[in-house]
Amino acid sequence: MTGAEAPARELRRRYTAADLGVFTRDEARRFVPRGDGDPNHDVVLAWELLYRLEPELYDRLASVERLHPGVTGWLPCQVDRIAEVGAGTGRLTMELIARGQHVVAVEPALPLRRILRRKLAAAEHGDRVRVVRGFFDQLPLPDDFADLVVACSAFTPSASHGGDAGLAEMERVCRPGGCVAIIWPNHLAWLTARGYRHVSFPGPMSVEFSSYREAVELAEIFYPKAAGAVRQRGEREVPFEVLGINPPRDLAFKVLVE
């Protein structure tokens, strides 16, 4: 049972091995290289299925997990070209439009690209952002292309979601003197070992659900260990610490040598 058929199930139990057929051949090679996989025991695989089977559900989550304003405020502005990798449904993309003349949003999952294009068209920004298919380790961009290359809540040390090959690709398409930034990183030590510096912005942060009902529904799916606490609070705004995750207040960056 998948998708809307199981609205209350936590993420890793929403899908089964039968759902792996949604992947393209290239995606299957990356996410299930042995030809098998069980999203009930592999939460990373469950996320990839979410992007393709229930992209609107993912967009609901991304829309309420707002970034610390200091993060977007720190990013370089008035630059010519920006490349965003793993753009998803536009959590960061819409912010980048005001910071560069041209933005290329790279996203591997077709359903997420469709949502992003729809948002851009609704905001009348379709001419400012080019949305393209691509993976971290094969960016469809030339050398020294962008002044800023950025990934938000997408890059990990795993080879299928970045790794050394993905980091090298991001640095390849960044011009000398430009900046590569990883927002909301999950392995800071891994990045600092590769020459990246860390910036963090203080202050309380909460996930701002549209209603208490939505808070409970999404907590049951994405933060099952905190679902009871969310119900007890009875509020639509839930601090990140209650959910048991680090808030999106950090970034790691490297300015490439000219």
Report angle CA 195, 197, 253 to the nearest 5 degrees.
Answer: 90
Contact 82/148 with Cβ under 8 angstroms? yes
pLDDT tens-digit series, residues 79-97: 999 999 999 999 999 999 9
Structure tokens that stand for 232 in this block: 């007890």
Whole-number mean pLDDT of the chain? Answer: 94
pTM of the entire predicted model = 0.94
- Residue 58 corresponds to which tokens in the numbers above? 């993912």
Residue 192 amino acid letter: T
List the one residue out of 160, 207, 195, 176 whose CA is nearest residue 42: 160
Taking alpha carbons only, the member of 144, 186, 232 closest to residue 43 is 186
Contacts of 8 (CB under 8 A, 6+ apart): 217, 220, 221
pLDDT greater than 50 at residue 3: no
pLDDT tens-digit profile of 175-198? 999 999 999 999 999 999 999 999
pLDDT digits (tens, 9 = 90+) for 116-126: 999 999 998 87
Cβ burial 52-73 (10 Å sphere, 16+ → b, else e): bbbbebbbbbbebbbbbeebbe
Percent of the chain having pLDDT more than 90? 91
Q: 129 by DSSP, 3-state: which?
A: strand
* 11 within 8 A of 221, measured Cβ to Cβ: yes
DSSP state of 135: B
Lowest model confidence (mean pLDDT) among 31-35, 107-111, 140-144, 228-232:
31-35
- Give the pLDDT score at 8: 61
- Our CA angle for 138, 141, 143, nearest 5°, is 100
